[in-house]
Amino acid sequence: MKKLLRFLFSFFILLTAFGVYFTNRIMFIKKKKEEDIVFRDEKAGFMKNADFKSLPQRKVSITSPFGYSLQAIAVEPWNTNRYMIFCHGVTENKMSSVKYMNLFIERGFNAVIYDQRRHGESGGKTTSYGYYEKFDLKAVVDWLNMEKGSNLFLGIHGESMGAATMLQYAGALEDGADFYIADCPYSDFSEQLAYRVKEEVNLPPKMMIPLARLFLKVRDRYHLSHVSPISSIEKIHNPVLFIHSKKDDYILPNMTQELYHRKRGPKQLFLAKNGLHARSLSENREEYERALDDFLDKASLV
């Protein structure tokens, strides 16, 4: 009996240690530094930092409903009420949104780029892949509505985790923008996590995901099932442009296709031929811009 108890106790300690380690990798994923992102994107020709700095802009601090500050930059070269908000992906920060922002500056929009929770200069202790982040996005939308009033014409662009955050905001909280552009989102974080576990650590997802579910609920106070754009996509009535690279092997393109098919009302799908994850614009710029212009035109957004 004592041997059994010792075994069970040892197994419990081992399981707990592994659960903490595994969820640490999820909650505290390593982030990129802003200077590294600027250097990377300048070297790749995605942006010129000097051009960005020359645009009329102001730094903004927005209070999250969870008490920390969200650091943003409002870029406003135009005298217009047409604005875009940009949501970057996991490990990135607001400067990685500049390449997308430039497309809309060229099309007569002003922009707000901001650091998501626990990224860049924003506060927040953990990354939750859209669960807490969707409330932060609502805070940014609310701030812009307060600034610009009822005449605001708003679009939101998200990349990867930022796209999933945006879709969860629009589906689970409020359909608060006039249109959305979802670039390479995951449709369900549990499925995405299971896929990455299988690909990266070669462990059985059927064992790992229940463990993650339990420990995230205890440690970060949310359930994995609540990080699921697909579960609320049908509540988004305003137009959505879905974008994904066919060769993306980090978040598989079928996730975007599932979201597209489930979405009701105005929608459009662009599957880029070239590029891996989050490279649809950089590897297919002309096609990306054509898809964007076609979407804006068909949805009567220009």
Contact status, residue 73 vs residue 59, Cβ threshold 8 Å? yes
Residues 6+ apart with CB under 8 A from 177: 85, 141, 154, 155, 156, 170, 238
Whether 7 has a pLDDT exceeding 60, the answer reads no
Q: Is 242 helix (H, G, I), strand (E, B) or coil?
A: strand
Whether 8 has a pLDDT exceeding 60, the answer reads no
Each residue of 18-45: pLDDT tens digit? 889 999 999 999 999 999 999 999 998 8
Average pLDDT value for residue range 158-163: 98
Q: Which letter does DSSP use for residue 176 in this model?
A: -
Q: Which letter does DSSP use for residue 90 in this model?
A: T
Order of strands, edge to edge, in the sheet holding 82-87?
57-63, 69-75, 110-114, 82-87, 153-159, 179-183, 240-245, 267-272
Q: What is the pLDDT of residue 3?
A: 67
Strands 110-114 and 69-75: antiparallel
Average pLDDT value for residue range 72-101: 98
Instruction: Say yes or no: domain 31-188+227-298 is CATH 3.40.50.1820.
Output: yes
Q: What is the pLDDT of residue 10?
A: 64
Whether 5 has a pLDDT exceeding 80, the answer reads no
Q: What is the mean pLDDT of the chain?
A: 94
Note the pTM of the prediction, 2 decimals. Answer: 0.96
Distance CA 97, CA 93 (A): 8
Spell out the SS3 assignment of 99-130.
Answer: HHHHHHHHCCCEEEEECCCCCCCCCCCCCCCC
Of 79, 103, 237, 91, the closest CA to residue 157 belongs to 103
Q: Tell me how far the alpha carbon of residue 1 is from its chain's centroid.
A: 51
Of 40-44, 88-92, 112-116, 184-188, the range with the lowest mean pLDDT is 40-44
Whether 14 has a pLDDT exceeding 80, the answer reads no
Q: Locate tokens 């047409």: which residue?
A: 82
Whether 163 has a pLDDT exceeding 70, the answer reads yes
Q: What is the pLDDT of residue 194?
A: 94
Residues 6+ apart with CB under 8 A from 40: none
Each residue of 109-118: pLDDT tens digit? 999 999 999 9
Q: Tell me how far the alpha carbon of residue 148 is from its chain's centroid.
A: 24
Residues 6+ apart with CB under 8 A from 180: 155, 156, 157, 158, 166, 167, 170, 236, 238, 239, 240, 241
Domain boundaries, the chain: 31-188+227-298
Each residue of 128-156: pLDDT tens digit? 999 999 999 999 999 999 999 889 999 99
Each residue of 199-213: pLDDT tens digit? 887 777 788 899 999
Name the pLDDT band for 298 (thresholds 50, 70, 90): confident
Name the pLDDT band for 49 (thresholds 50, 70, 90): very high
Each residue of 223-261: pLDDT tens digit? 999 999 999 999 999 999 999 999 999 999 999 999 999
